[in-house]
Chains A and B, each alone.
Chain A
Amino acid sequence: MKLIHKVTRRLAMVVLPVLLLWATVFFFAMVSEVNDETDDSLDDYAEMIVRRVVAGDELPTPGDGSNNTYSIELLPPTEVYRDSKEFDDREVYLFWKKETEPARVLTRIFHDEDGIAYRLVVSTPTFERDDIIRAILIYIAIIYTVLLCTILAVTVVVFKYSMKPLYSLLRWLDGYRPGNGTDGFPNEETVYEFKKLTKAARETIERAENHLERQKQFIGNASHELQTPLAVLGNRIEWMMDNTSLTEEQFTELSKMRQSINRLVRLNRTLLLLSKIDNGHFLDRSNVDIVSIIENELEVYKEIFAEKELVCKVNVPQSFVVHMDEMLATTMVSNLIKNAFVHSPEGDTIEITISQGELSVSNSGDEALDATRLFDRFYTSGKTGSTGLGLALVKSIAGYYNWGVKYSFTGGKHRFAVTFEK
């Protein structure tokens, strides 16, 4: 979940009920204000009539423009009445409209100067008031929605603007690969928190880069330290073989030593290659035709493994071009094919297929291999001379280009597949 979504959601969760509460309170306050106003005007109207009755003036005729109606009656003098005022809501028949309408009604009892009690009932229809309240409701709803949207929109904009340094840092980190250095690292910020974050990130990257640089140097130095004694050892053995008289037994021993040294040399070289790939040292890319590499490699392996009499079924298109380092392409294809040749029983069939952007090599086998460890460094099937690095190399190369490597075992066939994504 993105931070902006989280912030917006949380803000909405707070603002929504608060605004709702505020809108409700506001609405009811408005309604009660409108009611008060209605009552006041009704009261004024009643007061006017009372004054006219008391003064003996002419009373207003009903339907004189206002929607107010009134009725007045003399109360029997047998009882004593106290002046009173009472508001209520009820249905009232409007004779000028000839129908009943909900109305606000004021019932007032008063006495004139002679002490005669009257009951005055004034009413005003509430449809006007209801109109106003409806209008208020609509406006509140509109304002409420607009306000909510505005708050959220402003938050998003302000957030995005303020968080710019964070996003530029994240973008930079996304594109970072070990060994790239700190080129294009976002500038130090003025905001305290971002300044700290950028500084911390920069320091971490610099430390990592430093580490990597030292590691590379270490690998270089270690290889130098290893290669020279290996050369010395190999050459001293060679010298003995060429220049001293040896028995066949001694000669055989020396020859075996030399083979072991050769194996060490290859191991050292492969480890160097692996660490180079892991450090992303292969930035050269060109269009490499995988099919022609397969053809070349097959020719060599067929020659080397001629006595195994293996059958190769090659099912590939005319060409299959991949944008990558040529040396790595050859190493990858060669290791896949070599693997199949080495582990195939005599007279077996090896299938090499390219389809739907996937190169697969399969050969027969008795049982499935441990797929979790198969691509690990130094995992071997016990075959002599195997460095246990061939498939690790394939995986490293594929991983370097973000391609998938799969192993499956179905119908007595091992199948190794590399999925190229262009």
Chain B
Amino acid sequence: MKLLIIEDDNSLREIMHRALTTEGYVVEVAPTYSDACDKIAGYSYDCILLDIMLPDGNGLKLLEQIKALDKNDRVIIISARDSLDDKIEGLDMGADDYLPKPFYMAELSARIKSVMRRGTGSVNKTMNAGNIALDLQSRCVTVEGNAVPLLKKEFDILLYFMQRPNHIIDKAVLAESVWGDHIDMVDNFQFVYAQIKNLRKKLADAGASQNIKAVYGFGYKFTETDL
């Protein structure tokens, strides 16, 4: 799968390139508006990561161009401006997703996967990890075909982990992703621990091949269960 990163910041571009290459994508980069124009006109990509604030042009113009060329490229807008107007404008113009800066690579890669799934027209909205299957539409989780009843937040946590297999996830980062801004003054993450404890027990009882493992004192990792 071929990706194009349109991003003017050298350091961020380098990290994105490194992270996505590691994930097995073929990645090309365009640091400027004019570079991006050439690449878009000349080649096809499965997914374009588009920064809309470029030094020599507006990224939304590029989006217009992509749509005008009638290409099938998926577009994820990456913007430093976390503004609703930009988001709505971008999505109206045909972008597939909108990711405000700053973001973590795990988040980016999860978004790319989600957009690509939609792109292949696949009706299959499930994610798999080992013998665990997670249906995004009906919010059902099954282990080897047997349903595992999960509470709303347990489902969100599992989804977060399944989008980031083998990444070490900080308790605080997990809490922020699942509970949002609500946790910004919280100094006790017992509630995350309680949720994860229940989730682990449910997965283990169902005989899942993967589970959440505590790493050091503060993080978790979604990985194969040690047998």
Which residues of A line the B interface, CB within 8 A? 220, 223-232, 234-236, 238-239, 241-243, 248, 251-252, 255, 258-259, 261-263, 265-266, 269, 272, 276, 297, 300-301, 303-307, 327, 334, 338, 342, 383-387, 390
- CB contacts (< 8 Å) of A258 on chain B: these are 170, 172-173
Chain B residues with CB under 8 A of A238: 104-106, 167
A228-B80, A238-B105 as given contacts; A259 in contact with B170, CB under 8 Å: yes
Beyond A232-B11, A235-B105, A252-B218, whether A384 also contacts B187 by CB under 8 A is yes
Whether A255 lies near B218 (C-beta < 8 A) is yes
- Complex CA gap A234/B84 in Å reads 24
Chain B residues within an 8 Å CB radius of A338 = 182, 185
Do B105 and A262 touch (CB < 8 A)?
Answer: no
Instruction: Please name all residues of chain B whose beta carbon is closer than 8 Å to the beta carbon of A304 when the two chains form the complex.
Output: 179, 182-183, 186, 191
Residues of A within 8 A of B101 (CB): 224, 227-228, 230-231
Complex A-B, nearest 10 residue pairs according to Cβ-Cβ distance, in ascending order:
A231-B102, A224-B80, A227-B101, A227-B80, A230-B102, A232-B11, A228-B9, A235-B15, A342-B185, A307-B190
A386 CB contact (under 8 Å) in B83, B106, B185: B185
A301 to B9, CA, bound (A): 38
Question: Is B102 a contact of A383 with CB atoms below 8 Å?
Answer: no
**B30 CB within 8 Å of chain A:** no
Contact of B19 among A235, A265, A305, A384 (CB under 8 A): A235
Chain B residues near A229 (CB, 8 Å)?
Answer: 9, 11
Q: Is B82 an interface residue (CB 8 A)?
A: yes
Check A234–B102 contact: CB distance below 8 A: yes
Q: Contact check: which of B11, B19, B81, B216 meets A251 at CB < 8 Å? A: B216
Question: Max chain B CB contacts within 10 Å: which of A297, A304, A385?
Answer: A304
The answer for the CA separation of A262 and B103 in the assembled complex, in Å, is: 10
Complex contacts, B31 vs chain A, CB 8 Å: none
Q: Please indicate the chain A residues that have their CB under 8 angstroms from the CB of B150 in the complex.
A: none
Closest A residue to B153 by CB, please name it: A303
Contact residues of B between 1 and 51, Cβ < 8 Å to A: 9, 11-12, 15-16, 18-19, 22
A230 contacts which chain B residues (CB < 8 A)? 101-102
**How many angstroms from the CA of A385 to the CA of B18 in the assembled complex?**
32
Contact sample, A vs B, 14 pairs, CB 8 Å cutoff: A223-B81, A227-B80, A230-B102, A232-B12, A235-B104, A255-B218, A265-B102, A303-B153, A303-B179, A307-B190, A307-B191, A327-B84, A334-B182, A342-B186
Which of B168, B172, B188, B194 is within 8 Å of A262, CB to CB?
Answer: B172
In Å, the complex CA distance between A220 and B191 comes to 36
Smallest CB–CB gap between A377 and chain B, Å? 15
Per the bound structure, the CA–CA distance linking A80 and B16 in Å amounts to: 142
Q: Which of B173, B176, B185 contacts A390 (CB 8 A)?
A: B185
Q: Name the A residues within 8 Å of B170 (CB-CB).
A: 255, 258-259
> Roughly how many angstroms separate A303 CA and B9 CA in the complex, as a whole number?
40
Q: Which residues of B contact A297 (CB under 8 A)?
A: 182
Alpha-carbon separation in the docked complex, A258 to B177 (Å): 14
Bound CA–CA A265/B173 (angstroms): 12
